[in-house]
């Protein structure tokens, strides 16, 4: 077998979403597994909808996922001369013909076919007219009218198509722009693509493309059609299922390794293994393990996987990653390698599911003053706790060492003295220090905040209780 070469050919008419990202990942992994190469190509012949911002966004998403391409990016709009050359070859060899049927006439033919219960395909009016190029004319492929075209799909097995059911499809539009069916074949042929891994919504295109390869005297690549991704309810995946663009997931605080791991498991498996490093994916990826059934998107599973990767991540690296999310909350960190900041990251690391969530959990450490959640203040910053809070304040001011173990001993002693459960002493202090009822361990956060900040926030909470009466 010649060296494996795969491609990812998005249309730059929108951002990269889950389905496209999985296709890119499967192609990238297949190439890496076989020691081959991976090519990026933009199918940008839809000039009205194709935009540079989407080109940039797709490249940025692939780079974030660390799916670096070996060749490209190529752009179809920069290859029009190549398509024109192959179109001329097909026409001169009698394998394609010009058609002068107007869009209005074609629409009438389509409606008539449907009314008569026939498939609405082109009826071959111009097939034997011997027309040459001219204004308003399209170039059509002279599709075989007998026989069968078999797609030897690497996932589904052989799929047969009756050539009678296929259309004399358009290769080149009146403006000289090639159609998808034509451009993709010429690209795959001239770029030496050996394997095409794509969504099964393209399966119906494959017999046409195989016939084009054969008409050009070329061997088609091998094809693998991956079942689509469905929403949790079994319908086609869409935004209403919470599916975002890849960069939107990044901006919500997902890690690239979590996204890769989640995407690879959407339709591919290796025994019962759920967690894969990138190296393991490359080593184990094989098309024989791709499911024939559609995968279902589960946002909760993705979130849980992201939480796993946050817990596994190096704290210093995590500290760097959370900085922009803190900045969005108005928290500027001068030195992310400072001990206090690293301790703060470490304290929320086991609890956060995204970097955004991590930043929100950490914010209280670095703001000048905390704001109390209304329900938390109402429940815990009440007059009856005031004597205990004042006693805690005095005890803390007189503590010689401000460490977790000593703090816990102090709180347990005070709870016992006042015949209270520890939580009834700890929760009001937690609200005083964080503004919330949920946080990392109380003594851990007191240690990180430091004596001065803890005392300042306790004084403010005591004042607040007094003002509430």
Q: Does the annotation list 239 as a binding residue?
A: yes
Q: Is 101 annotated as a binding residue?
A: yes
Report residue 401 as tokens: 């060492």
Residue 99 annotated as binding site: yes
Partnered with residue 178 across adjacent β-strands are 172
Enumerate the β-bridge partners of residue 266: none
Helices (H) and strands (E) in the chain, counts: 19, 12
Q: Is 150 helix (H, G, I), strand (E, B) or coil?
A: strand
**Annotated catalytic residue: which of 112, 119, 129, 239?**
239
Sign of CA dihedral 12, 16, 22, 24: positive
- Dihedrals phi, psi of 143, to nearest 5 degrees: -75, 140
Q: Is 409 annotated as a binding residue?
A: no
- Please name the helix (run of DSSP H) or strand (run of DSSP E) that holds residue 229, with its range, or none: strand 229-230
Report the relative pairing of strands 148-153 and 157-162 from DSSP bridges.
antiparallel
Conformational region of residue 184, where left means phi above 0, alpha means psi within -120 to 50, and beta covers everything else? alpha
Distance set, CA 265 to CA 248, 284, 435 (Å): 20, 12, 40
Q: Is 456 annotated as a binding residue?
A: no
- Tell me, yes or no, if 239 is annotated catalytic: yes
Sign of CA dihedral 456, 460, 463, 465: negative
The contacts of residue 166 (CB under 8 Å, 6+ apart) are: 121, 143, 144, 149, 207, 208, 211
Packing angle, helices 315-328 and 339-348, rounded to 10: 90
Q: Which residues are catalytic?
A: 239
Annotated binding site for ATP: 239
Annotated binding site: 99, 101, 126, 128, 239
Annotated binding site for Zn(2+): 99, 101, 126, 128
């Amino acid at each position: 077998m010649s060296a494996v070469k795969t491609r990812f050919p998005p249309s730059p008419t929108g951002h990269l979403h889950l389905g496209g990202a999985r296709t890119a990942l499967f192609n990238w992994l297949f190439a890496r597994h076989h020691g081959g190469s991976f090519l990026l190509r933009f199918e940008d012949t839809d000039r009205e909808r194709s935009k540079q911002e989407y080109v940039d966004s797709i490249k940025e998403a692939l780079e974030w996922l660390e799916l670096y391409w070996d060749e490209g990016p190529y752009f179809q709009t920069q290859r029009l001369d190549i398509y024109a050359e192959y179109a001329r070859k097909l026409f001169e060899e009698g394998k394609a013909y010009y058609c002068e049927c107007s869009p209005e006439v074609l629409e009438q033919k389509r409606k008539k076919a449907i009314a008569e219960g026939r498939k609405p395909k082109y009826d071959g009016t111009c097939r034997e007219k011997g027309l040459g190029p001219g204004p308003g004319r399209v170039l059509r492929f002279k599709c075989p009218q007998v026989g069968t075209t078999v797609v030897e799909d690497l996932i589904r097995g052989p799929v047969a198509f009756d050539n009678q059911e296929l259309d004399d499809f358009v290769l080149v539009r009146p403006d000289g722009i090639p159609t998808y069916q034509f451009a993709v074949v010429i690209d795959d042929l001239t770029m030496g693509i050996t394997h095409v891994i794509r969504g099964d919504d393209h399966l119906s295109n494959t017999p046409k493309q195989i016939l084009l390869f054969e008409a050009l005297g070329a061997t088609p690549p091998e094809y693998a059609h991956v079942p689509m991704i469905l929403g949790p309810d079994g319908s086609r995946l869409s935004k209403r299922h919470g599916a975002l663009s890849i960069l939107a997931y990044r901006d919500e605080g997902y890690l690239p390794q979590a996204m890769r791991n989640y995407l690879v498991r959407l339709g591919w498996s290796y025994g019962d293994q759920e967690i894969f490093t990138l190296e393991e994916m490359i080593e184990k990826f094989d098309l024989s393990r791709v499911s024939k059934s559609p995968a279902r998107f589960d946002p909760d599973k993705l979130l849980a996987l992201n939480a796993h990767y946050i817990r596994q991540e190096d704290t210093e690296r995590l500290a760097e990653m959370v900085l922009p999310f803190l900045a969005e909350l108005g928290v500027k960190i001068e030195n992310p390698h400072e001990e206090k900041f690293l301790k703060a990251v470490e304290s929320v690391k086991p609890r956060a599911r995204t970097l955004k969530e991590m930043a929100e959990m950490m914010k209280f450490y670095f703001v000048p003053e905390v704001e109390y959640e209304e329900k938390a203040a109402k429940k815990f910053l009440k007059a009856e706790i005031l004597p205990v809070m004042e006693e805690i304040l005095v005890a803390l001011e007189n503590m010689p060492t401000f460490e977790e173990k000593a703090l816990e001993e102090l709180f347990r002693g005070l709870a016992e003295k006042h015949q209270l459960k520890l939580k009834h002493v700890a929760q009001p202090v937690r609200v005083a220090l964080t503004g919330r009822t949920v946080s990392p361990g109380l003594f851990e956060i007191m240690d990180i905040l430091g004596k001065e900040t803890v005392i300042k926030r306790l004084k403010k909470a005591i004042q607040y209780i007094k003002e509430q009466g």
